[in-house]
Amino acid sequence: MQKKHFVFAAAVLLCLAVVFSAGCVDNGTSGDKVEILYVVPGNMPQLLDSGAVDAAITWQPFVAGIEEAKIGKVISYSEDLPPEGKWEGHTCCVFGANSNALANPEVAADLTALMILGNEYITDNPAKSADLIADWLFAKGDLTYGSVSVNSVDVMKASIPTISFSGEVTDAWIKSNEDFVQSQRDLGLVSGKLANTNSEDTKELLFDFSAYDAAQDILESGKFLDPKTSVKEIAIGYLPSDHDGPLFVLIKDWKFFKDNYNTYLKPVSEKVGKIDKAELYVNGKKVCDVKLIEGSAGPNLMTLLQQNQIQYAVAGTPPFVSAIDKASSAVDIKILAPIMMNGSGLLAADDAPADDWDSFIAWVKERSAEGKPVVIADPQLGSIQDVQLKAALDSAGIGYSTKSA
């Protein structure tokens, strides 16, 4: 079969330059080892295809895209990585807001309820959701791999079933967030407000569940809350990932939510691709204008929240934790509810002699004995994927060195 090649903005030579110019940090473990290369996920397919890396851990839809392109194969999805049972339902992306948004509690509750309904929509309609999310992210265009194209809807159809779309706050999910904060302390990445907090203080700093609790009442009663204070405009930040799918389906299939709940986000102009302007209707009445702001990365959205350029954001847990830990702004940031869990995976090159975790570790040991350590691409120091990869390697007695630009 002809191998399909990802086309990304960064060239292979630039990727290789990053590899060879990177600094190296060793975790000090002797014996079997791998090399971890910190690299942006968009470059991972190119690196895998060129042989510059042997494996990669990343989030969807990169996992599905790499598999669809026959560049790599899934060794383990994130929730199944060792230690056994540790990562099931792990935190990933969340819905959050700043203190200015929470000053209007009815709108915050209505939006949180809509996000929960967006999750339910994806769970109940995975095929249609794949189409809508591919529309938002890729205008339903093909993803090009060299001379071969792969349908973006097919990539979404492969990706969505591996993501747990849920807005339910559970004790396990809260514990997952606390465990992640501890991992950041261990790495020295959390050194401010969250550096020495106990469980209750950590929860107090990270979360505000008032909007979630009100949203649960809304969904039980079927009656959304009319705002007590008028709002002219709100802005919601998001990232271009299918992890943010609940927001996309709410807007792309707004008529469904109008017909079923009479509360909805209506695009100002319906079109193929991304929507940047919408209107929030609550109980059939327009409440405010809504701007949809695509962020370049999670930290970018946190800055916009602190500057009140956006009032709500869908982003990963790590940037929320980092921003809350280091916050010096008068504008507070809080996590309101989960948007999804799981949604990442460890892949090996398509021709690697490994198909699951046990065979992957056997391959790692074989390569280490040959003096050619397996190189694993990793999104970022302290990312959820980075923490999971290192925990899995530790559980197998595998050491690692790290490289970063």
* Percent of the chain with pLDDT strictly greater than 70: 91
pLDDT at 328: 82
Q: What integer is the mean pLDDT of 307-313? A: 97
- Asked whether 360 and 353 are in contact (CB, 8 A), the reply is no
Residue 252 has pLDDT above 70, yes or no: yes
**Sign of the alpha-carbon torsion through 203, 206, 210, 216:** negative
Within 8 A by CB and 6+ apart from 124, the residues are none
Helix/strand number for the chain, H first, E second:
16, 17
pLDDT at 24: 47
Task: Return the residue matching tokens 């707004």.
Answer: 254
Residue 95 has pLDDT above 90, yes or no: yes
pLDDT at 12: 34
Task: Tell me if residue 211 falls in helix, strand or coil.
Answer: helix
- Asked whether 310 and 301 are in contact (CB, 8 A), the reply is yes
pLDDT at 14: 35
Q: What integer is the mean pLDDT of 171-193? A: 92
For 321-350, the pLDDT digits (tens) are 999 999 887 889 999 999 999 999 999 999
Residue 21 has pLDDT above 50, yes or no: no
Residue 297 has pLDDT above 80, yes or no: yes
pLDDT at 6: 38
Q: How far apart are CA 97 and CA 302, in angstroms?
A: 10
Tokens of 240: 């271009």
Query: Which range among 114-118, 201-205, 327-331, 388-392 shows the weakest confidence by mean pLDDT?
Result: 327-331
Task: Tell me if residue 96 falls in helix, strand or coil.
Answer: strand
Residue 28 has pLDDT above 70, yes or no: no
Residue 26 has pLDDT above 60, yes or no: no
**DSSP run (H or E) holding 121:** helix 105-124
The CA–CA distances, whole Å, from 99 to 162, 220, 239, 307, 310 equal 33, 26, 21, 11, 11
For 270-289, the pLDDT digits (tens) are 999 999 999 999 999 999 99
CA 186 from chain center: how many Å?
A: 22
**CA-based angle 267:273:275, to the nearest 5?**
30
Q: How far apart are CA 365 and CA 367, in angstroms?
A: 5
**First CA to last CA across the chain, in angstroms?**
35
In this prediction, residue 404 has a pLDDT band, given cuts at 50, 70 and 90, of: confident
* Percent of the chain with pLDDT strictly greater than 90: 81
- Asked whether 211 and 334 are in contact (CB, 8 A), the reply is no
In this prediction, residue 142 has a pLDDT band, given cuts at 50, 70 and 90, of: confident
The CA–CA distances, whole Å, from 276 to 93, 111, 244, 299 equal 21, 17, 15, 20
Q: What integer is the mean pLDDT of 99-109? A: 97
pLDDT at 1: 36
pLDDT at 136: 98
Tokens of 89: 């339902």
